[in-house]
Amino acid sequence: MQVKNRFIVVFAIFIILAFNVTPSYGFTNTITVNIPSRTIYFVSQNMSKLYAIAVGKIVSTSPLGTYRIINKQVNPKWVSPWNGEVVPSGPDNPLGYRWMGFYSDYGIHGNNMPSSIGTLASSGCIRMYEADVEELFDMVSYGDIVNVVCQTIFPKTSPTGGMALFVYPDFYKKGLNTRQHIEIELQNYGIKVSDDTFRKLYKYVNVKDPLVFSEGYKVIRNNELVSSDVYRSQDGQFYMRVGDLKGYLNIDDEKIKDLKSVLVDNANYVNIDDIANLTGLKFVVDNDTNTIKMIGNIIYYDGKFLSTTNYVDYQSRDIYIPIKEFFTAAGYTVEWDPQDGVIVDGRSIKYKLYESKSYINQKDLRSLYGLDITVDSSSNKIYIKRD
């Protein structure tokens, strides 16, 4: 409880210092750009959302500090800093189709190179996936606060209460990831790591992205701790705690009832290979840092794990949902007709075939059935809800 209370106090202080806002009667939206994690965290009075971004390169850093949105443009022009050429809005314009300026020539904008998202790629501006920036643009107003910060260290908690310390690279060389600093944060949050483990992991500070401190193996996914409780068998197989699997994916017992589990110290564990076969997720083991990365695009329906999909484009949000899995879960009858293709409750629907399996674009799913669909590019999750 003491650690929890301290975390709340520290987090509150961080928010106050980072936002540097004078209290007012109205609520001001805030946009926090964190360079090390390459994310934007948007907070309004009614919602909050995390987005994946690209930030300034080491030789052209994004400007740290607190600013405000000073201009907004749809279909902005781009002036080349090298030859002064004016590039109109379109596919050749690196600003994409939205611009939100916050300081001098710096702004938050779209892109024409989606592969750069998640990297240090710009001349100092903040790039977003085009669909993300258009969504954010509609929620942001003139005067909204923009905080550009460098925070490398975050405590993370698994569904069963396990903890680990995520340490992102100190790209801008601010001296944030010293041995002493990390040791203090581990102590502050009650995360126990042996001296041998610390020495093994610290060799990769500012190299691994992120570097995760905890004792033993852990499973991570994007910016999240899936499990810090992983059992490794004598033959080298990895098993994840069932409680973390259920808690992270919010998967029904019915779906995992056939998974074989092993009992270790009064807790049940499931082989990660069996999890991969069941869900379509992939696991990549890094023995240098005792880290297992869970990879895949996860689809939820009414808050429950539905499936995964390999066919996503976060730039345009052309994301394809497996037809059989979704419509079966939603209570529809799905049939195949040799002439008309996929038939759902007697109606032919538009679909695409990938590896002999039929999929529907989430945009079509939304328009046909009035569903509420949220796309989260930072965690590679798609949430489908009945409206």
What are the CA-CA distances from residue 281 to residues 26, 243, 299, 360 (Å)?
A: 44, 17, 11, 20
Count other Cβ atoms within 10 Å, centred on residue 57: 15
Q: Which of 33, 50, 54, 125 is catalytic?
A: 125
Residue 305's contacts (CB-CB under 8 Å, 6 or more residues apart) are 249, 250, 251, 252, 255, 279, 298, 299
- Reading the block at residue 33, the tokens are 């750009």
Task: List residues bridging with 334 in a β-sheet.
Answer: 344
Count other Cβ atoms within 10 Å, centred on residue 348: 12
Q: Can 125 be counted among the known catalytic residues?
A: yes
What are the CA-CA distances from residue 119 to residues 67, 122, 168, 171, 204 (Å)?
A: 23, 9, 13, 11, 19
- Reading the block at residue 337, the tokens are 């007709």
What are the CA-CA distances from residue 178 to residues 152, 168, 198, 205 (Å)?
A: 11, 12, 12, 9
Q: Which of 109, 156, 218, 317 is catalytic?
A: 109
Identity of the residue numbered 269: Y
Residue 342's contacts (CB-CB under 8 Å, 6 or more residues apart) are 323, 334, 335, 336, 348, 349, 351, 358, 360
Side-chain half-sphere exposure of 200, counting CA atoms within 13 A: 17
Q: Can 109 be counted among the known catalytic residues?
A: yes
Q: 113 by DSSP, 3-state: which?
A: coil
Active site residues: 109, 125
